[in-house]
Amino acid sequence: MIRFKNSHRDDAKSASLHLPRDSDDSVLTDNSSNVSDIVEHRQEKINRQLKSRSLDNRKSMEKPAATPSTSESGATLKPFFPTALVKNLTKNSLEILECTLTMRQSATHVTRLNTRLIESMAGGEMAFMSRMMAMGASPNATCRLNHVSVCHLAAMQNTGVLELLIKHGADVYRADKEGRTPLHFAAWEGNVKQIALMLNFPEGLRKRIVECVPLSSQIVGEIKYHSTPVHALTNMTCKSNEEVKLQVDWSDGMEHNCRNIKDMLPPFQNEKNKHGWCYGWTALHAACARAQHHCVELLIAAGADINAQDQFYRTPLDVVGYAHYMGYKIEEKDFKATINLLLTSGKKIQKCRYSPSLNSIDTPLHTAVELESEGSVEQLLLSGASATGWNSEGATPMHICVKKRNKELLQLLADFKYNNEDPYLATIDVKNKQGFTVLCAAIKEGWTQGVCIALGARASITMKANGESPIHIAAQMGNIDILRQIITIAKLTNTLDFRNEKGETALFKAVSHSQLDVLKLLISSGSDIGLVTAMKTNIFHIAAEQGNQDILEYLLEYNPHVTVRLVNKSDNQGPPLFYAVKNNHPVCAELLISKGAQVGIYVPCKDCIGKDILEWQSLLHIAARKNYCEIADIIIKHDSNTVHCPDSAGRTPLHEACSNGNREMIVLLLRKGADLSEVGRGRQPKLKLAPIDILINNLSKPTEFIQEIFDSYISSQGKSLEEANCEVTVDYRVLIPRESDMKQMRVINALINTGNRYDQHRLLLHPLVQTFLFLKWQSLLSFFYSILILHACFVLSLNIYALSIFYYKDKEETVPIFFRSNVWIHIIYLTICMIVIQEIVFVKMKSKRYLICWETWLKIGYITLAVFLPRIVSWETKSSSEWARLVATFALLFSWFEMMFLLSRFPDWGYYVLMFGKVASKVLKILLSFVFLVFGFSVSFMIHFHAKPPFEGPWGAFVTTLVMMTSEFDYNDSLSKDSILKASGSLFMSRLIFITFLILVSIVLMNLIVGVAVNDVNNLEIIGSIKRLEKQAEFITSLEDIVCNKLLESILPKRLYSKLKNNIRLESVIVLRPRKATCYNRNRLPTRLREATFERVQLQKKQSDEHLGSMVFQMKLDEISSTIKGIADKQCANDTSTTLNQIFKELREMKSDIDQIKQFIEITKRRSLCSNKSVPLIVVPKEQ
């Protein structure tokens, strides 16, 4: 239940009605004094005022229930203090404390009444206000937030409230915190009645002032008579009043909502907004700002100073209609009447300001134009108003006319003969704050009539606004009608090709803003398309940069001679084609190239990344860097050689694409013949990388990306392998970018040289690479056979020679004629000479890389041994015989190793040899790890068996132990019971050591070696295949280098050499027909490679079908989604309309109920203030 809390008591009320004001004020406001001083100062007065209280009855103080105290009416009051405290107080102190609290309650009661009085100003019920003041409310009740009193609020109302307040002693001189008096408020609202009342005019005169509009001369005379001397309120200005403290009995209560009062106040105050400051206004200023001409006339008659100035030195004439900028509606007739009153009163237009910051204020002339008051404008101009001043937004009156498109006012302002007119500058050429003249502003607004008026007033068409002349702005805006008017004047003044600050003509502006019709009009009017700017920029540069194909096509076709002259002219950055490429305008690029623009030109590097190391670059480099695939395709189509053209750092466009990670551009350039292996020619190491090196290091998942590229070069054109006419195309152009190049292994070698950080060597297993290597191997097979036969002859001759020297000698048999050593020595030296020549060629071709290969040193070893073997044999001594056998042994062994390595080059056999090498390396690693275990057992066996066979020494024991590891124990002979007892004498210990060796070495170690060496056969097979392909690629490269050697070319006849080159050169594209067994290329490849290629095609076909199916499915989903969305939107619209109607109906019902509740609350509130009892506003039934 909501109630008003009536906390004042009868005795407090009685005290508040009988206490004098001075006593009350001094007690409540003296907050800094202590309690004892207050008690001594007020003791006598309090005793006199409370004579009716019977405080002599001390028996009542001894009662525990209450302390009796009676007022004048004899009512018993509730005690202020607890019983325990009362017992300890003296008579005087108790009286003083009770009286102090009574006065405090009285002050609180007054502030509440003041609050009710302030709140009642909205309704304006005078009877209620009279009761409030009778109950103790102050007629000067003031809001504590901004010190606005009830007089201020009453002055804004055309009622008798203000008169009532003045009768009760209201102070009309009272100013709020902003220094505004009630007279300011009345003048702002146009309340003539309240103004006359506050100026103390007689009642009869006040009535005649209100009824007579305008004021008659008789009434004016009476006003002047009663205003002598002038009333102090008349010319009082707004001054800051924040330091003045508010009297206590004037203040409102804490429950008062001060913000409601603030919303009722006029907007002029001492705070800065976009309309300026209102500090220093008089009441006449306030009346003029609202164009309250009746109030203005009254105030002028009452002696208001028409020359009074605010802080901006503005007189009342300067602020006429100023409220228009604050959102108030100003009537044109009121504005005109106010201006007329001030001018007829002798006020002149202020010619100059006294502060530079005051040049941008809203003058009456600006306001007159805003209100479109032609009569006021003419009257102000005749009075000397300036049409060149800026308002708060930086616009002149003529610019405002342009904005409002008022041709009559603009004509009036433009044609008026100003007294202070500059002879060198027409008034119409005045600029606004943004730097635009009236003509430029009219052009930007697209107002043809305004342009004609400005031109008729001799507006200059060459005066620049922010660097642009009117003809430039007109060309930019694209209004043909306006441009025609300006062109007519430009032809007469010969300024059609007038340039702006950048040296551009209007033609440049039309092109840069894609105004084709403007362009045609300017050219047909005689504008020169061959002009260039100071930066050597011509019209084709602008058109290509903007990318408007219609404009560029029109310019290219207009004058062929000019086109030929300018289409390849460069400015400080490049020719027109450069701008088309830079801004990705493929159609414009195509048009320029069709008209003779050069594709293979180089442009300087000024705004690109890496310009510190680049001096110039081609257009294709720019397209590759920015991933403009369509532009790149056009450039390559017209000049395919640009794919291989380097920039100043020696980098090709493919280098740029790989450096920036542009996958689409990489694919395009490779399709157009770019070389992945072409090394940069720069001086810095980072500029000497091949594109494939940059690709591997810059792209994410590079191996997968290259694999996708390789996959795209194997295609069946969307046909299935089961179709009879299916053709599988294997395109090797990604591996052979230049068909004329004899060295076709560069890309694969570059791929191998990138390392294996991203597992890129497995790309060698791709069918595209494997088939290429196989076919390349087939083309060079004759060279390999010749090398193989040469080594075979050497090995055969070396073996026959060794047999003839050692075998028959040991057998003491006669050497057959065929095995005579004299013949085979010559054959050995002949083959060695040929092998040495071959190795010299290989070393020269491969340099250091060939020397660090251990196979090379193996060749050097057995060749050296073979060379010295006959010499050692010829010594014929016993020691030399042993040395000869040792040399022959190693020479034969190394030579057969080399034969094995040569056979590893064969595609079908090679990976077995390489798998053997991989397994051997693992076994050696394990043996080296456990060599100490083997050596420990060998030494143990030697000592335990007393160094007797087979453990007769360290080396013999070690070899025997290694043999025993292979399960060759020779147990019955060497480790039998008799042998052990005979050798060591300890049967148990001998067998214990042997069992330990058997478990740890023969079983555990040997199984570990086998398991680790061949743990993953499939992986070993893959590794073996990769190694074989690497060896094969290396050997093919070596053979290519030999064939392409200039020495060989100079030795062989030209016809033979050309035939040799044709035989080893592999075609770039082969076609396989899976359904035709007689296909030539099909039979060239082995079965495994054919199947791998066909599997890749099938995988691509499957992926293509899945992608096509997903696209069809997505299209169906989109159709279903759009259909469902349409149905849902229709249903939602119907539901929304129904819901809104229901909501509006409920809102209307709620509004009616709220109005009834508000009315009931107001009635109950007024009744509660007139009684001493609490009255409930709304009775809420108790819950059951």
The mean per-residue pLDDT over the stretch 119-134 comes to 85
Instruction: Compare 272 and 284 and report the one with higher pLDDT.
Output: 284
How does pLDDT run across 570-582, given as a tens digit for each residue?
988 899 999 999 9
Tell me what the pLDDT averaged over the chain comes to: 80
pLDDT at 789 over 50: yes
pLDDT at 1075 over 60: yes
Instruction: Compare 35 and 994 and report the one with higher pLDDT.
Output: 994
**pLDDT confidence of residue 979:** 60
Instruction: Compare 812 and 831 and report the one with higher pLDDT.
Output: 831
CA separation for the pair 967, 976 (Å, rounded)? 16
The mean per-residue pLDDT over the stretch 523-529 comes to 92
- Whether residue 467 contacts residue 435, with contact meaning beta carbons closer than 8 Å, is answered with no
The mean per-residue pLDDT over the stretch 324-335 comes to 90
- Which residue from 981, 983, 977 is spatially nearest to 950, judged by alpha carbons? 983
Instruction: Compare 1134 and 592 and report the one with higher pLDDT.
Output: 592
- Whether residue 409 contacts residue 452, with contact meaning beta carbons closer than 8 Å, is answered with no
> Which residues 6+ apart lie within 8 Å of 119 measured at CB?
256
**pLDDT confidence of residue 63:** 36
pLDDT at 909 over 60: yes
How does pLDDT run across 997-1012, given as a tens digit for each residue?
888 887 888 888 777 7
**pLDDT confidence of residue 1059:** 78
pLDDT at 484 over 80: yes
How does pLDDT run across 716-756, given as a tens digit for each residue?
887 888 788 888 889 999 998 876 677 888 899 899 989 88
Q: What is the 3-state secondary structure (H, E, C) of 678-740?
A: CCCCCCCHHHCCCHHHHHHHHCCCHHHHHHHHHHHCEECCCCCCCCCCCCEEEECCCCCCCCC
How does pLDDT run across 596-647, given as a tens digit for each residue?
999 989 998 876 665 566 788 999 999 999 999 999 999 999 998 999 998 8
CA separation for the pair 521, 540 (Å, rounded)? 18
How does pLDDT run across 1037-1074, given as a tens digit for each residue?
877 877 777 777 777 777 877 877 777 788 888 888 88
Share of the chain above pLDDT 90, in %: 30
- 526-535, 704-713, 895-904: which range is least confident on average? 895-904
pTM beyond 0.75: the answer is no
How does pLDDT run across 422-456, given as a tens digit for each residue?
555 678 889 999 999 999 999 999 999 999 999 99
**pLDDT confidence of residue 972:** 56
pLDDT at 671 over 80: yes
Q: What is the 3-state secondary structure (H, E, C) of 238-291?
A: CCCCCCCCCCHHHECCCCCCHHHHHHHCCCCCCCCECCECCCCCCHHHHHHHCC
How does pLDDT run across 1108-1130, given as a tens digit for each residue?
888 888 888 888 888 888 888 88
The mean per-residue pLDDT over the stretch 653-658 comes to 92
- Which residue from 281, 294, 384 is spatially nearest to 333, judged by alpha carbons? 294
* Segment 569-573 long-range contacts (CB within 8 Å, at least 24 positions apart): 569/532, 569/536, 569/538, 569/540, 570/536, 570/603, 571/532, 571/533, 571/535, 571/536, 571/537, 571/538, 571/541, 572/535, 572/536, 572/606, 573/603, 573/604, 573/606, 573/607
- Whether residue 569 contacts residue 528, with contact meaning beta carbons closer than 8 Å, is answered with no
CA separation for the pair 401, 662 (Å, rounded)? 56
CA separation for the pair 977, 509 (Å, rounded)? 115
Structure tokens at 33: 């004094």
Residue 777 banded pLDDT, cuts 50, 70, 90? confident
- Which residue from 488, 542, 486 is spatially nearest to 513, judged by alpha carbons? 542
CA separation for the pair 1168, 1180 (Å, rounded)? 18
- Which residue from 730, 744, 761, 737 is spatially nearest to 1085, judged by alpha carbons? 730
> Which residues 6+ apart lie within 8 Å of 1019 measured at CB?
none
- 79-83, 658-662, 969-973: which range is least confident on average? 79-83
How does pLDDT run across 280-304, given as a tens digit for each residue?
899 999 999 999 999 999 999 999 9
pLDDT at 44 over 60: no
